Amino acid sequence: MPPRVVITGIGAVSALGGDVAALTAGLIEGRCGIGPLTLFPYRGRCATAAEVPEAVPAAVAVAPATARRLSRPDRFALTAASEACRRAGLGDDLRRDAALFVGATTGGMFETEQVYGRRRAGAERRYRLSRMVGTPVSTAASVLSQALAIYGPQATVSTACSSSALAVAMAADAIRRGAARVALAVGTDGLCRLTYAGFDALQALDPDRCRPFDRERRGLSLGEGAGAVVLEDADHARARGARVQAVFLGYGTATDAHHVTAPHPAGAGALAALRAALAAGGLAPEAVDYVNAHGTGTPQNDAVEVRVLRDVLGAQLARIPVSASKSQLGHCLGAAGALETVVTVLALDEGILPPTVSLRDPDPACADVDLVRTPGRRARLGVALTSSYGFGGHNVTIALGRAER
């Protein structure tokens, strides 16, 4: 029998603030982190984003030379991962053999753009190495392993918007196959011109704030941040007296093999991922108490996602609350899956149902869905699902359960 996997620590950096306490307060208060885009000048159709506030503390426990050169997403990752390890009570000895999985999409692209811009404007004659060492997506794992002294198995995955949901799944797999007893999964991404201009060119951005599941929804709002999750062999956690925040019940992953940006019209991959997650957890639709949706706010995604939920959960869907955290955090791309796993853990652990804050007039096509509106609700949940669907048809659904106490 493979070991059971539990979650014993979480960390978060988002537009709602630099730690889990700020995220929790923001979820309960129904705050929206989406505001004016200030990180760089941009002339296009849109000018909003869910930016991480500058006040978020910089790195901890890295050499000063490394700290000076951290890209924004590497700094977010370090802050979130440090928090998750601290909350899980992972000392040096427990971190040493831990596995590390990171999901990200653009690495230090923002800093790289700055270098290129200065060079192009003639402000610098040559490219500056220090502003480019953080360019690859793999640097977050490198920084984390150095700063936190993690020597176990390590991988960085990039499957667009499901990257860090997949990182969480891979961390659970590492524990189940016995490669590690503790695994850290981190998702991180920072806003950059490339991402912003790309989504704008796709006409995928809402010019104001995204409104998932709303009749008037026009697109997504980009966000940034990092989420971190400590997964652990349940026996190991019990033996050391760790506080379990949620149980990892299973996950499913499947691919659309359909289009570079559009979801499969019938949600074939999303459907298969959701079914596989339920099967992996031995769960019937009757067991599901909450769905933290992918819920981007694009017309296509939300329509396909509701169809998938209806197909899999059937008549049960009417009694299952559904919400889209992207209405508060923006779409954090490579960080979204880990951040939404953190939100789902909080839903189970704190008994909260976070709202879809911008929802005013639900899409009639969602009439049979119990969409959670502001100010959210309180509920004792047993099982919650969180889905992440990446461009290119990379679909992941994770099933989590409330910790037994």
Partner 1 sequence: MDRDAVRADVKQLLATGLRLQVAPETIPDQEPIFGEALGLDSIDALELVVLVEDRFHVSIPDEEVGRRAFASVDALVDFILAERPG
What is the binding site for partner 1 (CB under 8 A)?
Answer: 63-66, 68-69, 124-126, 128-130, 133
Examine the residue annotation and report whether 85 is marked as an active-site residue of this protein: no
Q: Could you tell me the smallest distance in angstroms from the CB atom of residue 254 to partner 1?
A: 42
CB of 65 to partner 1, least distance (A): 4
DSSP 327-354: HHH-B-GGGHHHHHHHHHHHHHHHTEE-
Residue from 46, 192, 331, 394 carrying the catalytic annotation: 331
Contact call for residues 218 and 134 (beta carbons, < 8 A)? no
Q: State which residue, 134 or 392, has the beta carbon closest to partner 1.
A: 134
Taking the CB of residue 257, how many other CB atoms lie within 10 A of it?
10
* DSSP H or E stretch at residue 82: helix 72-88
| Contact between residue 370 and residue 321 where contact means Cβ atoms under 8 Å apart | yes
CB of 225 to partner 1, least distance (A): 23
Give me the sign of the Cα torsion angle 64, 69, 74, 79: positive
Is 161 catalytic? The answer is yes
Report in angstroms how near the CB of residue 66 gets to partner 1 at its nearest. Answer: 8
List, edge to edge, every strand of the sheet that includes 321-323. 154-157, 99-103, 182-189, 225-233, 5-13, 246-255, 394-401, 383-390, 290-292, 321-323, 370-371
Q: Which is nearer to partner 1, 190 or 250 (CB)?
A: 190
Q: Is residue 222 within 8 Å of 196, Cβ to Cβ?
A: yes
- Tell me if residue 394 is catalytic: no
Q: Which of 294, 332, 366, 394 is catalytic?
A: 294
Tell me how far, at minimum, the Cβ of 372 lies from partner 1, in Å. Answer: 44
Q: In whole angstroms, what is the distance from residue 26 CA to residue 33 CA?
A: 9
Q: Which is nearer to partner 1, 133 or 160 (CB)?
A: 133
161, 210, 332, 366: the catalytic one is 161
Which residues are catalytically annotated?
A: 161, 294, 331
